[in-house]
Structure 1
Amino acid sequence: MSMIIAGHFQLQEEIDRAREELIGAGFPEQSISAFFVNQPGQHDMTPIGGDHLQSPGAKETPIGVLEGTAAGGVVGVALGAATSIVTGPVGPIVGGLVGAHVGSLYSLAKMKEGDEDEEGGENVEPRKPGMLVAVAIDDPAREARALEVLRDLGAHHIERGDGSIVDGDWVDFDPLSVPVLIP
């Protein structure tokens, strides 16, 4: 496993130029990988597509909907029973159904927003989509040269990681991993 320095570019021509410059700077061609990183959620990591079998933040949804439905149903039955003099025996039934529906809708209002943290987790920014060029660094002293080349060419979101580039392919790249950006 090697240290890997990677930078994002917008155009294929920029990637081609970065490959040439890295080779010219003494990095072996087989230690350089270039590829496109898809948008978050579009990596086909599961049998049905996408990145996760269940949307992040949705794990509490079934319990929340059940709690809201139960609470709303109880309140609805109570109100329906209180008005049964006017509504008759249908009052508690209709009250329970309407209350359960309103309760389930209320529970949806308590769902997390996209920028909220998961319980016990931290809110991390996913890897940006786009063209990525990566170079394996076997000698830590060469890291500064790789960074210089990428910065001079206008790379953005330069990151450091660990992995293996074999014959120009970053074989253990994980698009869902949290990038460690280099300022």
Structure 2
Amino acid sequence: MSTILAGHFQLQDEIQRAREELIRAGFPDEQITAFYLSQPGQHDRTPIGGDHLISPGAKESPIGVVEGEVTGGAVGAAIGAATMPVTGILGPVVGGLVGAHVGSLYSFHKMKDHGEPEAGDEANENEREPRPAGMLIAVACVSSAEEDRALELLRKLGAHHIEKAQGTIEGGDWTDFDPLSVPQLVR
């Protein structure tokens, strides 16, 4: 595992130029990787696509739907039972169904607003800034002198959102890159 410096560029031509300059500066080609980073939500990390099985900010919604359906169904059935002399046997049934539907709509209060903190393992996932999409070039550095040289070169070439990470680049592939990790930006 080594220190990896990665910089974003807008164009593929800029990535090619950066690769050539890094090689010219003494970095082996197998320590350099370049790839297109997809938009957040499009990393195909789940069996059905996307980044998460449940959207950040909506993790508590299934519980809210069940709570709303049960409560609404019970209230609706009770009201329907009270109107049974007028509505007949269908009163409690229709009342329960309508109540369950209205109760499930109440579950929207369980959804989080953008920036509102979450409870649980990924507590601040809803408020962190996602890694921007675009062309990314990364170079593995084995010493602090190489880090300084790579950082200076990336800045000179106009890279933006330069980040630092620990990882492995083997054969031109960043094998342990996680597009959902929080980048440590270099200032």
Aligned pair count?
183
Q: Deviations along 1:66-85, whole A, 9 cap, x unmatched?
A: 11001111221222233334
Q: TM-score, normalised by structure 1?
A: 0.88
1:119 to partner: Cα distance = 0.9
2:12 is aligned to 12
**Stretches of structure 1 lacking an aligned partner (at least 5 in a row):** none
**Stretches of structure 2 lacking an aligned partner (at least 5 in a row):** none
1:143 is aligned to 147
Q: Deviations along 1:133-153, whole A, 9 cap, x unmatched?
A: 001110112322211111122
Worse-matched range after superposition: 57-66 or 157-166: 57-66
Give matches, 1:52-131, under 5 Å: 52-120=52-120, 121-122=123-124, 123-131=127-135
Give the Cα separation in 2 of the matches to 1:20 and 1:124: 34
CA RMSD of aligned residues (A): 2.0
1:33 to partner: Cα distance = 0.9
Give the Cα separation in 1 of the matches to 2:54 and 2:111: 15
Worse-matched range after superposition: 46-55 or 62-71: 46-55
Give the Cα separation in 2 of the matches to 1:101 and 1:46: 30
Please say if residues 60 and 110 of structure 2, whose CA atoms lie closer than 8 Å, have aligned partners that are also in contact: no
Counterpart check, 1:157 vs 2:155: no
Give the Cα separation in 1 of the matches to 2:47 and 2:62: 23
Please say if residues 61 and 110 of structure 2, whose CA atoms lie closer than 8 Å, have aligned partners that are also in contact: no
Q: Deviations along 1:30-81, whole A, 9 cap, x unmatched?
A: 2111111111222222333323344334443332211100111122122223
1:22 to partner: Cα distance = 1.7
1:89 to partner: Cα distance = 3.6
2:184 is aligned to 180
Aligned residue for 1:43, secondary structure, equals: coil
Please say if residues 5 and 141 of structure 2, whose CA atoms lie closer than 8 Å, have aligned partners that are also in contact: yes
Give the Cα separation in 1 of the matches to 2:163 and 2:86: 70
1:129 to partner: Cα distance = 1.1
Q: TM-score, normalised by structure 2?
A: 0.86
Q: Deviations along 1:84-143, whole A, 9 cap, x unmatched?
A: 344344322222111111001111343223543321311322221110000111011232
Give the Cα separation in 2 of the matches to 1:28 and 1:152: 19
Identity of aligned residues (%): 68
Structure 1 ranges of 4+ moved more than 6 A: none
